[in-house]
Structure 1
Amino acid sequence: MTQLSPDQVAGNWGAIASDYERAFENLSAQYAAHALRLLALRAGDRVLDVAAGTGTFSLQAARAGAEVLATDFAPGMVARLRERIAAEGLGGISAEVMDGQALALPDASFDVAASVLGLIFFPDLERGLGELRRVLRAGGRAAVVCWRDPASLPLMTLVRQAIQRVAPEFQPPSAPPVWARLAGAEVLKIRMEAAGFRRVEVVTSTAIQRIDAPEAYWAGFTRSAPPLAYLFSQLGPERTAAVGREYIEALRAQSKDGVPTLTVEACLGIGHA
Structure 2
Amino acid sequence: MNDDPENPWADSAETARTFDAASGDFDELTPTVWGPAGQALVFQLGVAPDEAVLDACCGTGSSALPAAAVGPEGLVHGVDVADEMLEHGRLTAERRGLKNIEFVCADASQWEAPSDVPDAGYDVLSISYGVFFLPDMDRTFWRLVSLVRQGGRAGVTVWRRGAMEEFSSIVFDVASRYSPGLREHGVLRDRTPLHRIDTPDTLEAWLADAGTDSVEVRTLSNLLPATEELCWSLVTGTGLRAVLTGLDSGQVASVRQQIAEEVTARGLRTIDATTLVATGTVRRPPVSG
> What TM bracket, shorter-length normalisation?
0.7 to 0.9
Give 2:54's match in structure 1, choosing from 43, 48, 52: 48
Structure 2 CA distance, aligned partners of 1:211 and 1:15? 23
Q: Given residue 280 of structure 2, which amino acid in structure 1 is its aligned partner?
A: G
Q: Where in structure 2 are the equivalents of 1:83-162 lying within 5 Å?
A: 83-105=91-113, 108-149=120-161, 153-160=165-172, 162=174
Q: Given residue 49 of structure 1, which amino acid in structure 2 is its aligned partner?
A: D
Does residue 224 of the first structure (1) align with residue 237 of the second (2)? yes
Give 1:206's match in structure 2, choosing from 194, 199, 221: 221
8 A contact 1:120–1:182 mirrored in 2: no
Structure 1 CA distance, aligned partners of 2:53 and 2:138? 21
CA displacement at 1:168 relative to structure 2: 9.7
SS in 1 for 2:109: coil
Structure 2 CA distance, aligned partners of 1:46 and 1:210? 37
Match of 1:195 in 2: 210
TM-score, length-scaled by structure 1: 0.80
CA displacement at 1:79 relative to structure 2: 2.2
Residue by residue, what CA displacement relative to the aligned partner does 1:106-133 show, whole Å, maximum 9, x if unpaired?
6632211100001210111123211331
Q: Which range is displaced more, 193-202 or 182-191?
A: 182-191
RMSD over equivalenced CA pairs, Å: 3.1
8 A contact 2:161–2:195 mirrored in 1: no
Cα 1:195/1:54, change in 2 over 3 Å = same
Structure 1 CA distance, aligned partners of 2:164 and 2:238? 18
* Identity among equivalent pairs (%): 24
Give 2:25's match in structure 1, choosing from 19, 39, 42: 19
8 A contact 1:147–1:184 mirrored in 2: yes
SS in 2 for 1:105: coil
Structure 1 CA distance, aligned partners of 2:197 and 2:47? 25
Structure 2 CA distance, aligned partners of 1:182 and 1:68? 29
CA displacement at 1:49 relative to structure 2: 0.6
CA displacement at 1:140 relative to structure 2: 0.8
CA displacement at 1:26 relative to structure 2: 2.4
CA displacement at 1:68 relative to structure 2: 1.6
Q: Given residue 115 of structure 1, which amino acid in structure 2 is its aligned partner?
A: I
Match of 1:31 in 2: 37
SS in 2 for 1:145: strand
Q: Which range is displaced more, 241-250 or 263-272?
A: 241-250
Structure 1 CA distance, aligned partners of 2:86 and 2:249? 30
Residue by residue, what CA displacement relative to the aligned partner does 1:219-239 show, whole Å, maximum 9, x if unpaired?
x5443235x333123565445
Match of 2:82 in 1: 74
CA displacement at 1:195 relative to structure 2: 1.9
Paired residues, number: 263
Gaps of 5+ in 1: 256-260
Structure 1 CA distance, aligned partners of 2:218 and 2:230? 33
Give 1:184's match in structure 2, choosing from 169, 177, 198: 198
Residue by residue, what CA displacement relative to the aligned partner does 1:34-63 show, whole Å, maximum 9, x if unpaired?
212222222222221111000011111214
Cα 1:249/1:192, change in 2 over 3 Å = same
SS in 2 for 1:189: helix
Gaps of 5+ in 2: 283-289
Residue by residue, what CA displacement relative to the aligned partner does 1:118-167 show, whole Å, maximum 9, x if unpaired?
12101111232113311212211111111212575344134245558xx3
Structure 1 CA distance, aligned partners of 2:192 and 2:70? 33
Structure 1 CA distance, aligned partners of 2:172 and 2:162? 12
Residue by residue, what CA displacement relative to the aligned partner does 1:239-272 show, whole Å, maximum 9, x if unpaired?
54333224334556555xxxxx433112222111
Q: Given residue 278 of structure 2, which amino acid in structure 1 is its aligned partner?
A: G
Structure 2 CA distance, aligned partners of 1:102 and 1:113? 15
CA displacement at 1:182 relative to structure 2: 4.6
CA displacement at 1:20 relative to structure 2: 1.6
8 A contact 1:129–1:192 mirrored in 2: no
Q: Given residue 92 of structure 2, which amino acid in structure 1 is its aligned partner?
A: R
